[in-house]
Amino acid sequence: MSKIPIVISVGGSIIVPKTGIDMNFLEKFRELIQSRIKTGERFIIVVGGGHTAREYQKAALAVTKLDPEDVDWIGIHATRLNAHLLRSVFRHQANPRVTKDPTKRLAWREPVLIAAGWKPGWSTDYVAVRLAKRYGAKRIINLTNIDAVYDKDPSRFDDAEPIERLAWKDFRKIVGDKWSPGANAPFDPVASKLAQKWGMEVVISSGRDLANVKDILTGRQFRGTVIDGE
């Protein structure tokens, strides 16, 4: 099974928003991926920590002062909890182990490989970029709680406009160059630098609109932002 996999990075807050585990999303996402598996596609799904990670980090920091590495480890373990949930959902299609180290090549035969956080200093977006490179994928679909990158904060400005396409240099002006535990950027700055270096394309779109995600997977017109080029 040598077909290049489709790499999807799923924000943890899509799986576990503030209201609790989103069962509807899990069911519909599972159905969508299974329908694509039937066409012969394979997937690497990288899972973030999202709201769960931030709540645990906030609780720890409220009790005592922590080093950034300690805060990062809390987030990493939140990604692994979310990843094990998703792996269980794809029990009959996924490799039985959650991948935690993107530098190790795994000879997986199943249609789905689930991955989570690696180590302090690196987000799950970074893991997605490393895994894409390792398995020959040039595109990452990043499913978040926003439907696109905007020219200004849409929660503050009614006239904010979505951007359909951005060059990496322009996107990196928006997100900066440094990663911090619990950061909530559309795509991690360190991962962005690496994706630009390796000539990858990243699609940023809403994870809640699964009809739109299907359009992305099937090559139709979709709502979101494509980041590529220099």
CATH number at residue 216: 3.40.1160.10
In a domain, 113, yes or no: yes
State pTM to two decimals. 0.93
Laid out side by side, the sheet with 225-228 consists of 112-115, 43-47, 6-10, 139-144, 201-206, 225-228, 165-167
In a domain, 95, yes or no: yes
In a domain, 50, yes or no: yes
In a domain, 1, yes or no: no
Pairing of strands 139-144, 112-115: unpaired
In a domain, 63, yes or no: yes
In a domain, 206, yes or no: yes
| Enclosing domain of residue 180 | 6-228
CA dihedral 128, 132, 133, 136 (to 10 degrees): 170
Please state the domain count of the chain: 1
Mean pLDDT value across the chain: 92
In a domain, 212, yes or no: yes
Contact 87, 18 (CB under 8 A): no
Q: What confidence score (pLDDT) does residue 181 get?
A: 58
In a domain, 76, yes or no: yes
Q: Tokens at residue 67, please?
A: 């080093």
Beta bridge pairs of residue 140: 7, 202
Predicted confidence (pLDDT) per residue in 110-168, tens digit:
999 999 999 988 889 999 999 999 999 999 999 998 899 988 878 788 898 999 999 99
Q: What confidence score (pLDDT) does residue 183 get?
A: 58
- pLDDT at residue 203 is higher than 90: yes
